[in-house]
Structure 1
């Protein structure tokens, strides 16, 4: 059963981890779009997606990412 995390609470380590990972994924996507990505960047983005995509099924995280201006 999923726990109810506060994704905006900077004292919540789980929420911060996912927000940081989402921001990293967004930065890597931008590097790919700009044509500046290395193969390592592409692999890191793939790994970030493997962690983040299952969490898209949790509306609280999805809404939090959108509210933060992050999109993956």
Structure 2
């Protein structure tokens, strides 16, 4: 239920976005806790799973991201 948001200004190369996403997912793999995971800070705090986030990040990084808009 937690979203991942990316805000960019101006013209941004696809490679820059790809690199940033990969860096963020690697940071998830290194995390030891979920920030702001309390009732006060997050309405869905009971649904958060660091284990699940790490599994998803690992899978996404293993599959990789294509810069080809038609798939690869």
TM-score by length of 1: 0.36
- Higher relative contact order, chain-length normalized (CA < 8 Å, sep 6+): 2
Of Structure 1 and Structure 2, which has the larger fraction of its residues in helix? 1
Larger Rg: 2
